[in-house]
């Protein structure tokens, strides 16, 4: 198949994790232009990537550049406007997480893509980490039996960001810890264990005056999955020193998976223990052992990088018309969980996600 011609919009931090896909797999994805409001930044990235066409305005780019798709890496408040402009101009769209800053915006973009026949994918890169796909295959094959509970956390420290940074501003980011970092693991809960039915309780906390317009520093939530499994999530972006933590535990009736990255290494493997593969518990201490790394080779993914794999998956879906593994439509479920947590924290009451 011919390479998908892609223009990158937003040349900041996360763009540096997308660019290797274009450098390493040019026969599948060809980077044809880079756009950023900050022209100097766009030029530096374009120079490094060997790209000639540089823009500061996405509408001009869409008029002038022959491309099939936009790779949207702008700030969250700009996701929906840029995605809608791209779809209106007949392009496919890969958009960074969080999908958009409101559920209504997410739905608007999905509807526009459906009408236009555009492929729409949300860059939930953690779905494309080999260990997470291996964990999913193990669960789907029934090795854990029925999933009974999930537990997850996402712990970071945003204190090093400059005052006034968009991540401190709920109006630009859509919120704080939950939508900013928690969304990765909430999406992964759905990817591994299925949809969430209701948020039972949630609490958020903001103390620092740096965080404005409803951006929370800490959040905790309990929820129930469609199959009745118990769920718990914690997110923090103001932890005073913490090992990198993006823990995810899936407890099944006959096995447990844990994906708890070593400090600083989000690509660490996931581990599984199950009746089928682990020695039986005889002594009290045996219950804590028996975990072995999931087999990441079995998934046959081209890269260790979730971003590289997601961009190649997007290109394949654009060519075939297949629904991406993290399509806009699917991601509505993740964004309903995010919205449900915020709604429950605001009202103090449980929230049925079907009502959102
Ligand atoms: N998948 C991940 O693990 C991950 C990690 C970090 C960030 N992100 C997401 O990536 C997105 C960007 O985050 P970042 O950390 O790279 O931010 P950033 O501030 O470093 O970069 C964003 C860039 O977008 C540009 N921009 C904003 N609006 C624009 C517009 N309308 N047209 C053109 N350029 C525009 C800004 O000038 C800036 O250079 C966010 O949605 C964020 O949530 C994802």
Span 58-66, average pLDDT = 98
Residue pair 121/326 in contact (Cβ under 8 Å)? The answer is yes
Rounded-to-integer distance, Cα 241 and Cα 267, Å: 20
Rounded-to-integer distance, Cα 204 and Cα 214, Å: 10
Counting ligand 1 atoms within 8 A of each CB, the residue from 21, 86, 96, 181 with the most, and so the one to mutate, is: 96
Q: Which atom of ligand 1 is nearest to the CA of 76?
A: 41
Q: Which residue's C-alpha comes closest to atom 19 of ligand 1?
A: 12
Q: Is 13 in the pocket of ligand 1 (CB under 6 A)?
A: yes
Q: Is 74 in the pocket of ligand 1 (CB under 6 A)?
A: yes
Do residues 208 and 235 share a domain?
A: yes
Q: Is 266 in the pocket of ligand 1 (CB under 6 A)?
A: no
Rounded to the nearest integer, the mean pLDDT of the chain is 95
Q: Which residue's C-alpha comes closest to atom 7 of ligand 1?
A: 14
Per residue in 154-201, pLDDT (tens digit) is 998 888 899 899 999 999 999 999 999 999 999 999 999 999 999 999
Do residues 191 and 136 share a domain?
A: yes
Per residue in 160-169, pLDDT (tens digit) is 899 899 999 9
Residue 260, pLDDT > 80, answer no
Q: What is the pLDDT of residue 262?
A: 66
CATH number at residue 95: 3.40.50.720
Do residues 139 and 271 share a domain?
A: yes
Closest CA relative to residue 197, chosen from 47, 2, 353, 72 = 353
Pairing assessment for the beta strands 53-55 and 120-123 based on DSSP bridges: unpaired
Q: What is the pLDDT of residue 288?
A: 87
What pLDDT band is residue 265 in, cutting at 50, 70 and 90? low
Which helix (H) or strand (E) segment holds residue 196: the answer is strand 196-205
DSSP for 32-64, please give it. Answer: EEEE-SSHHHHHHHHHHHT--EEES-HHHHHHH
CA distances, 134 to each of 269, 293, 294, 300 (Å): 10, 10, 6, 10
Rounded-to-integer distance, Cα 103 and Cα 349, Å: 19
Per residue in 292-329, pLDDT (tens digit) is 999 988 889 999 999 999 999 999 999 999 999 999 99
Residue 325 in tokens = 């593994």
Q: Is 80 in the pocket of ligand 1 (CB under 6 A)?
A: no
Do residues 288 and 148 share a domain?
A: yes
In DSSP terms, 111 is beta-bridged to none
Residue pair 307/98 in contact (Cβ under 8 Å)? The answer is no
Per residue in 11-44, pLDDT (tens digit) is 999 999 999 999 999 999 999 999 999 999 999 9
Q: Is 45 in the pocket of ligand 1 (CB under 6 A)?
A: no
Rounded-to-integer distance, Cα 325 and Cα 317, Å: 9
Q: What is the pLDDT of residue 112?
A: 99
DSSP for 275-289, please give it. Answer: TTTSPPP-SGGGGG-
Rounded-to-integer distance, Cα 81 and Cα 89, Å: 12
Q: Is 110 in the pocket of ligand 1 (CB under 6 A)?
A: no
Give me ligand 1 centre to Cα 164, in Å: 15
CA distances, 93 to each of 6, 150, 310 (Å): 9, 31, 12
Do residues 339 and 261 share a domain?
A: yes
Q: What is the pLDDT of residue 263?
A: 62
Q: Is 152 in the pocket of ligand 1 (CB under 6 A)?
A: no
Q: What is the pLDDT of residue 240?
A: 87
What pLDDT band is residue 135 in, cutting at 50, 70 and 90? very high
Quote the radius of gyration of the chain (alpha carbons, Å): 20
Residue 64 in tokens = 């002038």
Per residue in 70-89, pLDDT (tens digit) is 999 999 999 999 999 999 99
Number of compact structural domains in the chain: 2
Give me ligand 1 centre to Cα 324, in Å: 22
DSSP 349: S
Per residue in 214-251, pLDDT (tens digit) is 999 999 999 999 999 999 999 999 998 877 778 899 99
Residue with tokens 């018309």, as numbered in its chain:
321
Q: What is the pLDDT of residue 264?
A: 63
Residue 269, pLDDT > 90, answer no
Instruction: Provide the strand spans (E) within 289-344.
Output: 292-293
Counting ligand 1 atoms within 8 A of each CB, the residue from 73, 176, 305 with the most, and so the one to mutate, is: 73
Structural domain harbouring 67: 4-124+304-326
Q: Say if residue 236 is exposed, middle or buried (CB neighbours under 10 Å; 0-12, 13-18, 19+).
A: buried
Size (the chain), residues: 356
The sign of the torsion formed by the CA atoms of 161, 162, 163, 167 equals negative
Counting ligand 1 atoms within 8 A of each CB, the residue from 38, 75, 168 with the most, and so the one to mutate, is: 75
Q: Is 35 in the pocket of ligand 1 (CB under 6 A)?
A: yes
Do residues 250 and 346 share a domain?
A: yes
Give me ligand 1 centre to Cα 77, in Å: 10
CATH number at residue 180: 3.30.360.10
Give me ligand 1 centre to Cα 251, in Å: 35
Helices within 219-327 (DSSP H only): 306-320
Q: What is the pLDDT of residue 351?
A: 98
Rounded-to-integer distance, Cα 159 and Cα 156, Å: 9
Do residues 186 and 268 share a domain?
A: yes
Give me ligand 1 centre to Cα 304, in Å: 22
Percentage of the chain beyond pLDDT 70 is: 98
Do residues 283 and 145 share a domain?
A: yes
**Phi, psi dihedrals of residue 21, rounded to the nearest 5°:** -60, -40
Do residues 77 and 103 share a domain?
A: yes
pTM of the model: 0.97
User: Any residues with CB less than 8 A from the CB of 194 and at least 6 apart, and which?
Assistant: 147, 225, 226, 227, 229
Q: What is the pLDDT of residue 230?
A: 98
Do residues 117 and 133 share a domain?
A: no
Q: Is 39 in the pocket of ligand 1 (CB under 6 A)?
A: no
Do residues 112 and 192 share a domain?
A: no
Counting ligand 1 atoms within 8 A of each CB, the residue from 38, 55, 59, 74 with the most, and so the one to mutate, is: 74
Q: Is 137 in the pocket of ligand 1 (CB under 6 A)?
A: no
What pLDDT band is residue 151 in, cutting at 50, 70 and 90? very high
Pairing assessment for the beta strands 292-293 and 271-274 based on DSSP bridges: antiparallel
**Phi, psi dihedrals of residue 184, rounded to the nearest 5°:** -60, -50
Do residues 36 and 76 share a domain?
A: yes
């Amino acid at each position: 198949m011919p390479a998908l011609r892609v223009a990158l919009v937003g040349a900041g931090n996360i763009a540096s994790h997308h660019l290797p896909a274009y450098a390493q797999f040019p026969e599948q994805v060809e980077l044809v232009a880079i756009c950023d409001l900050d022209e100097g930044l766009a030029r530096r990235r374009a120079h490094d990537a060997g790209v000639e066409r540089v823009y500061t305005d996405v509408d001009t780019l869409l008029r002038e550049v022959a491309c099939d798709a936009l790779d949207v890496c702008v700030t969250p408040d700009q996701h929906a406007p840029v995605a809608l402009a791209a779809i209106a101009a007949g392009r496919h769209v890969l958009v960074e997480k969080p999908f958009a800053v409101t559920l209504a915006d997410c739905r608007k973009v999905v509807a526009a893509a459906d009408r236009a026949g555009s492929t729409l994918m949300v860059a939930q890169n953690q779905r494309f980490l080999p260990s997470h796909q291996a964990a999913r295959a193990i669960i789907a094959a029934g090795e854990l039996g029925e999933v009974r509970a999930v537990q997850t956390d996402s712990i970071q420290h945003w204190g090093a960001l400059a005052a006034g940074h968009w991540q401190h501003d709920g109006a630009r980011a859509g919120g704080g810890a939950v939508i900013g970092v928690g969304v990765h693991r909430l999406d992964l809960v759905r990817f591994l264990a299925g949809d969430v039915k209701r948020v039972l309780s949630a609490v958020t906390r903001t103390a620092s005056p740096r965080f404005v317009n409803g951006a929370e520093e800490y959040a905790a939530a309990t929820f129930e999955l469609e199959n009745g499994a118990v769920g718990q999530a914690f997110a923090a972006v103001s932890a005073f020193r913490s090992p990198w933590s993006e823990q995810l535990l899936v407890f099944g009736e006959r096995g447990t998976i844990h994906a708890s990255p070593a400090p600083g290494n989000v690509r660490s493997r996931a581990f599984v223990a199950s009746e089928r593969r682990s020695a039986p518990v005889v002594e009290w201490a045996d219950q804590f052992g028996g975990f072995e790394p999931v087999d990441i080779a079995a998934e046959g993914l081209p890269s260790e990088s979730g971003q590289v794999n997601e961009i190649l998956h997007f290109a394949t879906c654009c060519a075939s018309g297949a629904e991406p593994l993290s399509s806009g439509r699917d991601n509505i479920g993740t964004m309903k969980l995010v919205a449900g947590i915020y709604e429950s924290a605001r009202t103090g009451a449980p929230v049925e996600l079907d009502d959102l």
